[in-house]
Amino acid sequence: MDPTAFFAAFFAALFAIANPIGNVPFFIMYTADVSSTRTRHAVALLLGGVIAGTMLLCMFFGADILKFFGISIPAFQIAGAIILLTIAFSMLSGTHTDRTHALTAATGEGSVWERAEAVIPKVIVPLVIPIYVGAGTISALVLYGHQALADDALLLPALGVVLTVCILITLCNFASDYILQFFGKQGLEIVVRIFGIVIAGIAIQMFFQGLGGLTVGFVNPSI
């Protein structure tokens, strides 16, 4: 496959699934009570690095890791859907926002990077997995990663796609501070509840897609 065509196809798929722009409200929600703009920017940088590392791990070893644990992509989709559905319900009720505020408000001491590092472990699930790196993202990474590993000419374009998407995610999250100022906390609460409905719909769709994949696998184990 031509490297340019491969880059374009992979980038289009990964950008659409990872959705750097559409996922900004979730970054805002998880950093709404972080003490300063500099700390939020540091969180965005660190989060971008974590997402990049996770994506590269999935691209090169995702299929082997899932296979090692005996987990199929459809089963991973169902698990991710259950997590997202739980989050959606708590977003609609307002309890998720309260919990998020409690997590981020507890990180008010130390340097900018120390405060940012304190936030990251608390938001890896669900912000990194399954929001940015969900079953769809992993499927795309495994598929295109398999092609890149089979053809050395595609390896650099594949790495370029992952790094480009992660840079775009980081830049979008950098802009979240201005978005937060525009909406305010009350406006953010409304946005969170609206996105709770959206996430519930995505979760149900993921669930039935995974269920359909498992059903096909049971009917035809060779697939």
Average pLDDT for 109-130:
83
Q: Cite the DSSP H helix spans in the chain.
A: 3-18, 24-31, 37-68, 73-93, 95-105, 112-123, 135-150, 155-174, 176-219
* Segment 20-45, tens digit of pLDDT: 887 888 888 888 777 788 888 999 99
pTM for the model: 0.74
How far CA 114 is from CA of 108, 139, 167, in Å, comes to 10, 34, 22
Q: CA–CA separation, 45 vs 35, rounded Å?
A: 16
pLDDT tens-digit series, residues 153-207: 999 999 999 999 999 999 999 998 787 777 776 776 777 777 778 778 877 887 8
| 102 pLDDT tier (thresholds 50, 70, 90) | low
Residue 146 confidence (pLDDT) = 82
Give 43-60 pLDDT, tens digit per residue. Answer: 999 999 999 999 999 999
pLDDT value, residue 95: 64
Per-residue confidence at 121, pLDDT binned at 50, 70, 90?
Answer: confident
- Domain segments of the chain as ranges: 3-218
Separation of alpha carbons 203 and 185, rounded Å = 26
